[in-house]
Amino acid sequence: MNQTYLIALLISLSNYAAIAQEGSKERIKVYSKALEGNLIGDPAERDVTVYLPPSYQSNPDRRYPVLYMLHGFTDTDSQWFGWEDHWINLQTVIEQSLAEGLSKEMIVVMPNAYNRFKGSMYASSATIGDWETFVTKELVGHIDANYRTLADKRSRGLAGHSMGGYGTLRLGMKYPDVYASIYALSPCCMDGGANTNAELMSRLEAYAPEQLDAANFFEIAAFATSAAFAPNPQNPPLYLDLPAKNGEPRQDVINKIIANRTLNYVDQYILNLKKLKAIALDAGLQDRGISEASKRLHEILEAYQIPHFYESYEGDHLNRIAERIQTKALPFFSENLIF
């Protein structure tokens, strides 16, 4: 065979393979009964991005496992899936992993958990609504009813970054009947107390709902934490209790917040964690606080003899997350989900 022709053929096949790896995405609306009537007035109809793998359209008889991905605090599904510019484009990450033969084709679903407080913590409260039921029951039911899924927990995974990593651990250990495998990337909020800084609390006590969009990160994080874990239907207009009032810490509210730190309640869910087929978590060594908490969770799982994958690596909270999903998380689910 002519050498020039052979080179041209190889280039053509390479280009074809790259094209063949392209899937599609769509942004849908999913109505949630569980989020109806939340006190802060967030919409019960939520945006959800659904990624369909390359062969989904061309192979109409094939069914696929589903990976549910949870984004972090202040982020949205729109940002993560490239509907707008962001620090990550998950579709590109997925397709690069496929192109390199690191992972298998699966449907990937991400709900938009951005709310009035810029993050739901994937928790349940009267103030923000029942996000646990929405993500684990309603969303899963909608995807199984409308897409060609393998509608079985053995073919269902859950993963997330930062607040999404926290949500992955929270929902994974509480609902082992829904997911088979979980992977938490740089999970936040696993330990620590509640912020009772007098100056900060004084500013927050004067906030009105229309001012929330202008809040800085520490302000909105304090609000989101209280909305998720210390709701108060008798305290309008934000319907939450802050961990300090009039300059004095409120121990009852602090107790509610710290009770929802992963390391403070994981022991109560050990039997559920043992029901999962596979567990993974990782964090960058330069991700201060999160790195140490992740290592502590790893040590707890070891103490209970729960098999899991754990890795600490050179990196911070963001700079290697795309790479970790591409080379670690997606291969992890490709190995542990039933296809």
- Check whether residue 140 and residue 159 sit in a common domain: yes
pLDDT band at residue 227, thresholds of 50, 70 and 90? very high
Domain range for residue 312?
23-191+269-336
- Check whether residue 251 and residue 135 sit in a common domain: no
- Check whether residue 42 and residue 110 sit in a common domain: yes
The answer to whether residue 154 sits within a structural domain is: yes
- Check whether residue 41 and residue 63 sit in a common domain: yes
pTM of the model: 0.93
Q: What is the pLDDT of residue 244?
A: 96
Q: Which of 232, 257, 282 is the last residue of a domain?
A: 257
The answer to whether residue 15 sits within a structural domain is: no
- Check whether residue 103 and residue 184 sit in a common domain: yes
Dump pLDDT digits (tens) for 268-295.
999 999 999 999 999 999 999 999 999 9
Dump pLDDT digits (tens) for 153-163.
999 999 999 99
Q: Tell me how many domains the chain contains.
A: 2
pLDDT band at residue 21, thresholds of 50, 70 and 90? confident
- Check whether residue 208 and residue 298 sit in a common domain: no
Q: Which of 257, 280, 301 is the last residue of a domain?
A: 257
pLDDT band at residue 2, thresholds of 50, 70 and 90? very low
- Check whether residue 39 and residue 94 sit in a common domain: yes
The enclosing H or E element of 50 equals: strand 45-52
Q: What is the DSSP annotation of 121-156?
A: TT-EETTTEEHHHIIIIIIHHHHHHHS-B--SGGGE
CA distances from 265 to 136, 165, 166, 230 (A): 19, 16, 13, 16
The enclosing H or E element of 27 equals: strand 24-31
Dump pLDDT digits (tens) for 73-115.
999 999 999 999 999 999 999 999 999 999 999 999 999 999 9
The answer to whether residue 68 sits within a structural domain is: yes
DSSP symbol at 339: -
